Amino acid sequence: MTCSISLTDVSKTYQRGQQRVDVLRSVDLQVGSGEFLALMGPSGSGKTTLLNLIGGLDTPTSGSIKVNQQRIDQLTRKQLAEWRSQSVGFIFQFYNLMPTLTALQNVALPLLLSPSAKAQRNRRAEIALQLVGLAQRLSHRPTELSGGQQQRVAIARAIVADPAFLICDEPTGDLDRESAAGVMDLLQRLNREHGKTIVMVTHDPKAAGYATRVVHLDKGELLEPTGVGAGLS
C-alpha cells in the first residue's frame, strides 16, 4: 500500500497567554506516492509540528491536508484516531517499547484491536521482525537488545499493520553511527523494495542522504528542495 500526501496553504498557530506563536506559515508540500522525504531545519523551525500534522496527531489552524485525496484535516478526533491506526506507522527517536514484553509481543501490539486471532497476529509480527532482520530475537525483551535492535523492533511494530506511509521523527537520533546506518539502510529498503512512502524529520545530513528528496523548514516556512539523497558514507 502506497500513498500520496498534499498540504495546501497549511498554517499552525498556538496561543500562549497573550502571545500568538505562528509555528507554520502557509506551507505547500507535495509528497509523491513511494517517495522518501527528509525534513530538515534548525530547532524550533516547525519540523515536528509539520510531521504531527501529516500523521494526524494534530490539526492545522488553516489550510488543507490530503492523504490519498482524503481531507484528514476535516476528520473528527475519533475518525483521526481510526485513520491513524489504519494508515500511519510511527517511528520515533526513543523506541517506546514495553519493557516487560518480548520483541514479538511489542510488534504485535498494534494488531490487538484488529479482529485477527492471536496466532495470526503473532505470525504477522514474526514476518515483520524477519523483514527487519530480527528473526532470531523474537523472545528477547528490550533490555536484551542493543539500541539499533530496539529501533528495528520499533520499525517492525510500525509496519506490522501494513500502513500506507511511515512517519519518522529523528529515527537515528539516539543511535551510534553504525547502528544509525543500519536503521537507515532498512528504511531505504522499505522505501525502494516495498514502496513505502516515508516522511522523516532529521538533524543528521547523513541520514537525510538516504532520502529521495530533502526539504528545509526555517521559521515555519518551507524552503526549496536541496536535492536528492546519496546515502551515508
Comparing CA positions, the residue from 11, 59, 10 lying closest to residue 30 is 10
Percent of the chain with pLDDT over 70: 95
Check residue 224 and give its pLDDT: 61
pLDDT at 211 over 80: yes
Check residue 1 and give its pLDDT: 53
Q: How far apart are the first and last CA of the chain?
A: 31
- What confidence tier does 131 reach under pLDDT thresholds 50, 70, 90? confident
Check residue 149 and give its pLDDT: 92
3-class SS letters over the chain: CCCCEEEEEEEEEEEECCEEEEEEEEEEEEECCCCEEEEECCCCCCHHHHHHHHCCCCCCCEEEEEECCEEHHHCCHHHHHHHHHHHEEEEECCCCCCCCCCHHHHHHHHHCCCCCCHHHHHHHHHHHHHHCCCHHHCCCCHHHCCHHHHHHHHHHHHHCCCCCEEEEECCCCCCCHHHHHHHHHHHHHHHHHHCCEEEEECCCHHHHCCCCEEEEEECCEECCCCECCCCCC
Superfamily the domain 5-222 falls into: P-loop containing nucleotide triphosphate hydrolases (3.40.50.300)
> 158-167, pLDDT tens digit by residue?
999 889 899 9
Check residue 2 and give its pLDDT: 61
Check residue 215 and give its pLDDT: 93
- What confidence tier does 227 reach under pLDDT thresholds 50, 70, 90? very low
Check residue 209 and give its pLDDT: 93
Check residue 230 and give its pLDDT: 42
Domain spans of the chain? 5-222
**Mean local confidence (pLDDT), 207-232:** 76
Name the least confident of 73-82, 145-154, 224-233: 224-233
pLDDT at 226 over 80: no
